[in-house]
Amino acid sequence: MLKLYGFSKVNQGAHGKTRDLRVLWALEEMQLPFEIVGLDHPAKDLNSDAYRRLSPFEQIPAIDDDGVVLTESGAILVYLARKTGKLMPKDLTGEAQVTRWCFAALNSLELPLMSLNMIDWVEQDGGCAKYRAFVRHWAEMRLPQLDRWLQGREWVATESFTVADILMAHVLSGIQDDALLAPHAQVKAYRDKCFARPAWKRVMADYQARVEAA
Ligand SMILES: N[C@@H](CCC(=O)N[C@@H](CS)C(=O)NCC(=O)O)C(=O)O
């Protein structure tokens, strides 16, 4: 049985946003049976020798699928899609488009959006104003570009919902400043459409009931 290492307890700020949700969402969409191994972040469960052997950076998520051990949410989702034949086309061209948009989500979008959040987490007194303005401009460039790409498209990579949409929607959910997203109607509508999926709602309800906020 596939094991997913996810949080059983995590700090309040990260609760409901953690990357194990990407894998949980994919598993729910795919209706693939699995068991959750819950780790307590404040109790340092991620820093044990046993967990480090699975996850070199001591992070969530990780999977152990009968001996296939993987970390990195993007790699896990592509593996699950190939294993099940779901949420990704089976032909090389379709698979390449999905891979392209997985990388776009985790690199071109997540990097500036996450960097902006990090500045705001640590910087309360405006001391990094110049750096923050630079990073915000970086984030601001990507969103209209994505908005343009989404015009006339239902999903980001192919005509059907794929694992790339899970990653893209989850990355976009990290936007903390509504003003950043507001001008980009296509991106907002796309994000809302992804999170309206019944599989996501089931996953989130289970997460809220199961994962403790510290
Ligand atoms: N690139 C990794 C990032 C994983 C990651 O940042 N995980 C966070 C939770 S969302 C984590 O485990 N943080 C705990 C820590 O670093 O101590 C992925 O996409 O899976």
- Using a 6 Å cutoff on CB, does residue 173 contact ligand 1? no
DSSP string, 101-140: HHHIIIIIIHHHHHHHHHHHHH-SSSTTHHHHHHHHHHHH
pTM for the full predicted model? 0.97
C-alpha–C-alpha distance, residues 161 and 174, integer Å: 20
- Residue of minimum CA distance from atom 2 in ligand 1: 72
Q: Is the pLDDT of residue 101 over 90?
A: yes
C-alpha–C-alpha distance, residues 23 and 167, integer Å: 9
> Tens digit of pLDDT for each residue in 27-44?
999 999 999 999 999 999
- Residue of minimum CA distance from atom 12 in ligand 1: 59
How much is the pLDDT for 88? 98
CATH node for 92-197 = 1.20.1050.10
Q: Is the pLDDT of residue 123 over 80?
A: no
Q: Considering the domain delimited by 2-87+199-213, tell me its CATH architecture.
A: 3-Layer(aba) Sandwich (3.40)
Beta strands in the chain (DSSP E): 2-10, 34-40, 62-65, 68-71, 212-213
How much is the pLDDT for 1? 95
- Using a 6 Å cutoff on CB, does residue 19 contact ligand 1? yes
- Give me 9's structure tokens: 């307890």
* Geometric angle at alpha carbon 36, from 32 and 40, rounded to 5°: 155
How much is the pLDDT for 127? 75
Burial class (CB in 10 A: 0-12, 13-18, 19+), 150: buried
Half-sphere exposure (CA, 13 Å, Cβ side) for 205? 8
- Using a 6 Å cutoff on CB, does residue 40 contact ligand 1? no
Nearest Cα to 166, choosing from 111, 90, 86? 86
- Using a 6 Å cutoff on CB, does residue 55 contact ligand 1? no
How much is the pLDDT for 34? 98
Residue 120 binned pLDDT confidence (cut-offs 50, 70, 90):
confident
**Cα 206–chain centre separation:** 17
Residue ranges per structural domain of the chain: 2-87+199-213, 92-197
How many other CB atoms sit within 10 Å of the CB of residue 113?
23
User: What sign results for the dihedral spanned by CA atoms 39, 161, 189, 107?
Assistant: positive
Q: Is the pLDDT of residue 184 over 90?
A: yes
DSSP, collapsed to helix, strand or coil, labels residue 141 as helix
Mutational test site, ligand 1, from 9, 17, 18, 19, max ligand atoms within 8 Å of CB: 19
Q: Determine the average pLDDT of the residues in 187-212.
A: 98
Q: Compute the residue count for the chain.
A: 214
Specify which residues 72 forms β-bridges with: none
Mutational test site, ligand 1, from 60, 115, 163, max ligand atoms within 8 Å of CB: 60
How much is the pLDDT for 92? 97
Mutational test site, ligand 1, from 59, 107, 109, max ligand atoms within 8 Å of CB: 59
C-alpha–C-alpha distance, residues 20 and 147, integer Å: 26
- Using a 6 Å cutoff on CB, does residue 46 contact ligand 1? yes
